[in-house]
A and B are shown apart, each in its own frame.
Chain A
């Protein structure tokens, strides 16, 4: 079992829909990151969380440390949101990043 699990692996949505991507982890962490990767492109950091909730534009990230779970929400989704969304946790013991395998999101017009 991977230390960082994301669900779903693939997600297709219609433009305007509310989207949720989930991340569960099994190690003690000092922070959790949500990253975005467009096809053939680089990786961009969206959020870094150690508790609570953060919002940036139409993106919202939440984390529940006790349940070892985080969610990334996209409101009013748009085709330009189509990308792979990656959850990564910073292991509290080793300080290394452990990555999930990503969620491939396709938003159709």
Chain B
């Protein structure tokens, strides 16, 4: 199994450009998440989804959008890139069928907005 796959691994954007960060998982996990990691800070939740067709905002959703048309895919869209969105982005998935469930993380996307 590939687990959680994120693309691209690196990207440089100009201010005002848009892009989509792709995330795919092949574990049939119903929960998926997008986090951003800034230097010296813990990971912050941007958006999450508890299943296909259902998405909700996390702590830091401004400037981002998501969709979840299938169980496997959870893309993150940046419409008008700003320097404040320079960060490392992680997608993760989980399957909370029981109370104690684990998380699987992707390898990250390092985004620089200039």
Contacts and interface: CB of A to CB of B under 8 A. Distances in A.
B45 A42 contact: no
B90 A99 contact: no
Interface string A60-81: 0000000000000000000000
Contacts of B44: 99
Q: Which has the most chain B C-beta neighbours within 10 Å: A33, A41, A101?
A: A101
Contacts, number: 52
Contacts of A44: 105
A2 B59 CA distance: 14
Contact of B105 (A42, A50, A95, A102): A42
A97 B44 CA distance: 9
Top 5 A-B residue pairs of the complex, sorted by shortest distance between their CB atoms: A99-B42, A42-B107, A43-B105, A99-B43, A101-B42
Contacts of A97: 33, 43, 45, 103
Nearest to A98: B42
- Which size bracket describes the interface of B in this complex? 20 to 34
A42 B106 contact: yes
Given A96-B58, A99-B43, A101-B42, A31 B100 contact: yes
Interface of B: 33, 40-45, 48, 58, 90, 92, 96, 99-108
B22 to A, nearest CB: 15
Contact of B42 (A45, A48, A86, A96): A86
A22 interface: no
A33 B42 CA distance: 13
Given A45-B102, A97-B33, 5 more contacts: A35-B105, A42-B90, A42-B108, A98-B42, A102-B42
Given A30-B99, A96-B58, A45 B104 contact: yes
Contacts of B105: 35, 42-45
Contacts of A96: 45, 48, 58
Contacts of B48: 96
